[in-house]
Structure 1
């Protein structure tokens, strides 16, 4: 990734930003066009975990423009996901000149970890969450009416679930960097666990699009597990690099009630 000088005139910074945004937009546009022609295969893959609960019914599209809208929407969302590593790369490339040399070494691991965690979350949702969620949702519908499987509705919810779980799986990366760079001390993460657990429950309820308690509990359990795993990894890294005193060190000592300065 080319790295520009740390100091440039404002117009040069704007030109650099425009160049990187152009790369992103063109890449997403090309990927969307390619994925549009691959949507029949993608739709077949997305329907797979839902079909066992439809009792032999096939999906329907209710409007004349529904097919095009579904294909374009799926193509665009898949293109965004496919281009995520490149988007992160361009974003970090714009801010890279402002980072110190010892901070730049985190860029490649960050892009790889963020991409990997997102795809792990999406795959976990596809194989574990989607079947459980739609089994419950369809069963609830059938208690009061016949469930007409609208393709746009079902696939839309499934994609939102996969994106939501992909984003939620970024939690370990966020916690890791906040603690390792001492923006939030590790000790504060550990001592405030009650508030964090409640906050994660609220977030889980907010980002699950189907209002299903099954999905909510799966999301909450996943976030709790990821949070605890991230704290364990963070503790190991801090102890190995800074010792026990690194667990309480903070760059924001005033905010966190720590009178030590950054170099203490």
Structure 2
């Protein structure tokens, strides 16, 4: 009877620990969200700046839905809070998983987690400061004069969030390559030999993820090609080290 109770008690302890970590993560997210709520209008104004700066003088956004002007800033504030809380949420996840990992796995997991978060943030910053101004300048410059641009607040928010997710996720390419190498599925030499196919795939992916304009496609494809090369060098650096530790 005691032998059966031991696994059950261990499972209950893990579930209690998981619940505690989830509660701490949600509480942290809630605190950040409450702190950002008074600034929701300023945050949306900041997000809209790349487009507003390209519109004719006196022209601004509209809300086709009567509640759109109210819910769009709130929706954005939640995603900003989630964006800021990612390190805290990952820390809670790591605190739950780490006790079950070996020392070597911890040494590999920590740099991968940190680098993945930093690359995602860098991808979003690249999209906001470089891609969005260039895309909106291109779209507003080459539009016919008879067409007036009156963007909807919710549609603009969905568009920008999709761009952020596309660039943030795409900038994770080196981390994905390193993980595949550590798992032994692909070697750095295979990544190097398949560079041509990878470049074609990157341009196809950029065409799918970005708006139908050449500017945003190139601004996603070119950094991804550079990140692909970075992933090859990172995988080469880790493979001999990993083999030495295994030996």
Q: Which structure dedicates a bigger proportion of its chain to helix?
A: 2
Name the structure 2 match of 1:156: 158
Name the structure 1 match of 2:199: 197
Detail structure 1 runs of 4+ shifted over 6 Å in the superposition: none
Give the alignment's TM-score, normalised by structure 1: 0.79
Distance 1:115 1:156, change over 3 A: same
8 Å CA contact 1:54, 1:149 repeated in 2: no
Name the structure 1 match of 2:128: 126
TM alignment of 1:70-149, pairs within 5 A: 70-139=72-141, 141-142=143-144, 145-149=147-151
8 Å CA contact 1:89, 1:111 repeated in 2: no
Distance 1:231 1:28, change over 3 A: same
Stretches of structure 2 lacking an aligned partner (at least 5 in a row):
1-7
Note if 1:234 corresponds to 2:240.
Answer: no
Task: Tell me by how many angstroms 1:77 deviates.
Answer: 0.7
Task: Tell me by how many angstroms 1:183 deviates.
Answer: 4.0
8 Å CA contact 1:62, 1:150 repeated in 2: yes
Name the structure 2 match of 1:168: 170
Note if 1:212 corresponds to 2:213.
Answer: yes
Equivalents in 2 of 1:197, 1:128: separation in Å? 22
Equivalents in 1 of 2:74, 2:151: separation in Å? 20
8 Å CA contact 2:174, 2:234 repeated in 1: no
Name the structure 2 match of 1:249: none
Equivalents in 1 of 2:138, 2:29: separation in Å? 35
8 Å CA contact 1:92, 1:107 repeated in 2: no
Equivalents in 1 of 2:22, 2:204: separation in Å? 34
Distance 1:88 1:211, change over 3 A: farther
Note if 1:185 corresponds to 2:187.
Answer: yes
Stretches of structure 1 lacking an aligned partner (at least 5 in a row):
1-6, 244-262
8 Å CA contact 1:118, 1:166 repeated in 2: yes
Name the structure 2 match of 1:51: 52
Equivalents in 2 of 1:20, 1:107: separation in Å? 19
RMSD of aligned alpha carbons: 2.6
Give the alignment's TM-score, normalised by structure 2: 0.83
Task: Tell me by how many angstroms 1:93 deviates.
Answer: 2.5
Equivalents in 2 of 1:16, 1:142: separation in Å? 60
TM alignment of 1:24-35, pairs within 5 A: 24-35=25-36
Name the structure 1 match of 2:4: none
Distance 1:241 1:54, change over 3 A: same
Task: Tell me by how many angstroms 1:121 deviates.
Answer: 1.0
8 Å CA contact 2:50, 2:133 repeated in 1: yes
